[in-house]
Amino acid sequence: MTLADHQLARQKRIQASLIGLANDVRFRDFIEVVRECQTTALDNLTDGSVIANERASTACIGEIAAYRSIIRTYDEAVAQAAMAREETA
């Protein structure tokens, strides 16, 4: 199995797990906190002290990318779960 195959398999496992978690209120609350963290990181990126420091800017960009990835994967899982419910209805 290639690296790309492993990554695809891992992504599918994450999405399958998230479909079950999407209906859990506690997990939705967690995702809302992640969204708030993303907003805070975006605010930090525009802060003068972060922009002035290349290392801090790079770290902040990585932090934002991680939050976006988590949120995007969750949103996709929620959409898939909704489509699955519509198909069974």
User: pLDDT for 25-66, tens place per residue?
Assistant: 999 999 999 999 999 999 998 877 788 889 999 999 999 999
Count the neighbouring beta carbons within 10 Å of the beta carbon of residue 37.
16
Average pLDDT, the chain: 88
Burial class (CB in 10 A: 0-12, 13-18, 19+), 14: middle
Angle at 21 between CA 17 and CA 25, to 5 degrees: 170
pLDDT, residue 85, reads 80
Categorize the per-residue pLDDT at 22 as very low, low, confident or very high, splitting at 50, 70 and 90: confident
d(C-alpha 79, C-alpha 61), whole Å:
27
pLDDT, residue 51, reads 83
61, 45 in Cβ contact below 8 A?
yes
